[in-house]
Amino acid sequence: MRTTSTPTHCPYCALQCGMALSPLPTGGVEVVERPDFPVNRGALCGKGRTAPAVLAPGVRLTSPLVRSGDALVPASWEEALDRIARELTRVRSTYGADALGVFGGGGLTNEKAYALGKFARVVLGTSQIDYNGRFCMSSAAAGGIKAFGLDRGLPFPMEDIPRTGCVILVGSNLAETMPPSLRFFHELRENGGTLIVVDPRRTRTAEQADLHLAPRPGTDLALALGLLHLVVAEGRVDEEYVAARTTGWEDARAAAMAHWPEYVERITGVSVPELREVVRLFCEPENAMVLTARGPEQQSKGTDTVGAWINLCLATGRAGRPLSGYGCLTGQGNGQGGREHGQKADQLPGYRKLDDPAARRHVAEVWGVDPDTLPGPGRSAYELLDALGTDVKSLLLMGSNPIVSAPRAAHVEERIGSLDFLAVCDVVLSETAALADVVLPVTQWAEETGTTTSLEGRVLLRRQALTPPDGVRSDLEVLHELAARLGVEKGFPTDPEEVFEELRRASAGGIADYSGITYRRLAEENGVFWPCPTPAPASASPASASPASASPASTSAASTSAASTSAVHPGTPRLFLDRFATPDGRARFVPVSHRPAAEEPDEEYPVLLTTGRVVSQYQSGAQTRRVDELNAAAPGPFVELHPRLAARLGAAEGDPVAVVSRRGRAVAPARITTGIRPDTVFMPFHWPGEGRANTLTNPALDPTSRMPEFKVCAVRVEIATP
């Protein structure tokens, strides 16, 4: 007889699908459907269905490990924590606070992300903190902030997608990365709408599209500019909207007009008739959307590329209107919330800027410290990893596996190996954890309570369903114990709800204002969309409001004024309907122009490599590679190549082929398909070892977002020899 199940959310991608966990008579839990959650309505992909497998004894860590010679051996929690505190103290006293590095993860709950950022800045006093979410949607965030004054993955709920007229989906393979979301696009087409997919590969998602464009990797910026050129040339600009709700159009228009269709065809490989058809399909309906993902964003010009797609939306009046807009499909489970509350090198809780004196004062007051003691902005993720062993001597790492997931991964592995000291908090012994001096086993989603923020900006409550095994503690307990050993006795509670209450105060008045959200609300509702400020008293006037609560970003983003008259703010499912989050309330066109990828093919490296995911693995695979069912479906890496390229190489299906870049060599079986361009090869990036795709990738950084260029680099392909 099944007892009451616990409602919660999947631990993997940013859909944060609703599920429930039901106890099994033999121990552990099984996943059961939760059809009340609107994003997935009970549907789950294989990763979600099998998520409890990672909780099994023998799979997850259950004891601290410390290095003794070349081996990691079990140790007590006291021994492990004492060793970490001792080494951090030694490094700081010898080299200074900025020799202490902290690297977080996009899967950490909001409470953990908040506490980790506070720990780095208050306890360690270091500026050297960033997280793997920098590799996820930082370019979209930078582009959104430039144009709209605010970054939230989707400025509308996913339920709006089937009701629009056309969606251009750029560089996203949702059928494999977020399978339950594909139903929204099926419903779009059933309702008479059109789906256009932009991807160099004919993916499972592209097969669902009304029109598939296969541009050369690294040319998404030129493609967007060519479409905007045609919008202007064909008289499809919404002049009234542009005049009423935007600024900067003339400069953006001039930049686009330099990208005429035939020129764009030569750059991208997308024909002029296809370009014209996209413009027709996008502009004829009353409403339309552009959604981008890692394809256009993980480039050294990712911010400009996002800006070009936003410009297309603005010129056609497709932003800040119901059932229209630009959005980014965030990848990691809490990639959105993870940066909103302090893991990013330049941000404080509430999406405040670390170099803003008012933001520093507000957060410092909540933390009970002098704002002058808070360090300034530090290095971005790859730059931090690149500095390990030189300027940064020790690293505290939580919930990330950069040896597999970072660009130029062999170099990152060398840098991690050169550290004076490495401590890792994780659920499993990842490839990175295996190099650590101390490994701490920490709880994961089903064993703890906490909040996450989905790609919709929906703040959700994950509820504890299991008691953690003996020997396992939460990340919050780890930070509490380390803070005490390093001389900070207060300010790091272990109760997640207590941490969230402090997060609410720290975020109040910021762009990502959570102050009106409580655990009680989250337990009663299917999430609350930020910004959700605490309503001002009815008697308060704008002049008497505090500076934090009156910040332009928080007041301009909401699409309703209900907060000023209601006892409870309803949250903001749809942003920008009244005004954008800029000082004047107008969206800003940003003029951009095409430029080549950081590394173009040449005689020695004549082929382009692009990378991505497969449906049965997730990110670095640290967890999913431990699930038998998922490994049976996706047992290892492969190299996808076109039959013409395979014929030139003399490669047959399954033959081992080597892909070589300026950074290294990877070997995997050939998978031959007409679904990829002849000038391009594809590798998934979930595996370590000789098939590690990120051995090859280029760490060239976007100048604004500091996003590495994962999605395009020059390689040669050859038959692998023993």
DSSP-derived letter for residue 120 is I
Residue 535: predicted pLDDT: 76
Domain end point (choices 507, 538, 564): 507
Domain end point (choices 507, 531, 556): 507
Residue 536: predicted pLDDT: 66
Residues 408, 642: Cα–Cα separation, whole Å: 25
Instruction: Verify cis geometry, omega within 30 degrees of 0, for the bond prior to 596.
Output: no
Does residue 279 sit in the same domain as residue 415? no
| Residue numbers of the chain with a pLDDT score lower than 70 | 1-3, 536-566
Residues 344, 108: Cα–Cα separation, whole Å: 13
Other C-beta atoms closer than 10 Å to the C-beta of 201 total 22
Does residue 158 sit in the same domain as residue 272? yes
Q: What percent of the chain has pLDDT over 90?
A: 92
Other C-beta atoms closer than 10 Å to the C-beta of 44 total 22
Does residue 161 sit in the same domain as residue 269? yes
Residue 438: predicted pLDDT: 98
513 located within any domain: no
We report the CATH number of the domain holding residue 679 as 2.40.40.20
What backbone phi and psi angles, to 5 degrees, belong to 709?
-90, 70
Residues 585, 601: Cα–Cα separation, whole Å: 43
599 located within any domain: no
44 located within any domain: yes
Residue 537: predicted pLDDT: 58
| Angle (nearest 5°) at CA 228 between 172 and 577 | 75
296 located within any domain: yes
Does residue 377 sit in the same domain as residue 445? yes
529 located within any domain: no
Pairing status of strand 347-348 against strand 211-213: unpaired
Residue 4: predicted pLDDT: 86
Domain of 657?
A: 607-719
Q: Please give the C-alpha separations between residue 532 and each of 142, 326, 509, 560, in angstroms, as whole numbers.
A: 22, 21, 10, 11
**The three-state (H, E, C) secondary structure of 677-717, written as one string:** CCCEEEEECCCCHHHCHHHCCEEEECCCCCCEECCCEEEEE
Task: Give the total number of structural domains in the chain.
Answer: 4
We report the CATH number of the domain holding residue 441 as 3.40.50.740
Q: Please give the C-alpha separations between residue 702 and each of 14, 298, 300, 415, 481, in angstroms, as whole numbers.
A: 23, 9, 4, 22, 38
Domain end point (choices 328, 343, 378): 328
Does residue 37 sit in the same domain as residue 76? no
Burial label, 145 (beta-carbon count in 10 A; 0-12, 13-18, 19+)? buried
What backbone phi and psi angles, to 5 degrees, belong to 691?
-95, 15
User: Reduced to 3 states, what is the DSSP secondary structure of residue 603?
Assistant: coil
Handedness of CA 503, 508, 513, 514 (dihedral sign): positive
DSSP-derived letter for residue 468 is P
Tell me which residue has tokens 């996706």: 634
Q: Measuring CA to CA, which residue among 163, 370, 180 is closest to residue 286?
A: 163
pLDDT in tens, 324-351: 999 999 888 898 988 899 899 999 999 9
Residue 136: predicted pLDDT: 87
What are 670's two structure tokens?
């050939």
CB 560 within 8 A of CB 572: yes
Does residue 87 sit in the same domain as residue 74? yes
How many residues appear in the chain?
Answer: 722
pLDDT in tens, 490-508: 999 999 999 999 999 999 9
DSSP-derived letter for residue 536 is P
CB 697 within 8 A of CB 665: no
Sequence letter at residue 251: D
Biggest CA-to-CA distance, the chain:
78
We report the CATH number of the domain holding residue 163 as 3.40.228.10
What are 388's two structure tokens?
């390990």
559 located within any domain: no
Does residue 255 sit in the same domain as residue 203? yes
Does residue 75 sit in the same domain as residue 174? no
550 located within any domain: no
Does residue 304 sit in the same domain as residue 422? no
Does residue 622 sit in the same domain as residue 642? yes
We report the CATH number of the domain holding residue 21 as 2.20.25
Does residue 303 sit in the same domain as residue 271? yes
How much is the pTM?
Answer: 0.94
What are 658's two structure tokens?
């080597």
Pairing status of strand 65-68 against strand 71-74: antiparallel
Does residue 288 sit in the same domain as residue 388? no
Residue 333: predicted pLDDT: 87
Residue 137: predicted pLDDT: 86
535 located within any domain: no
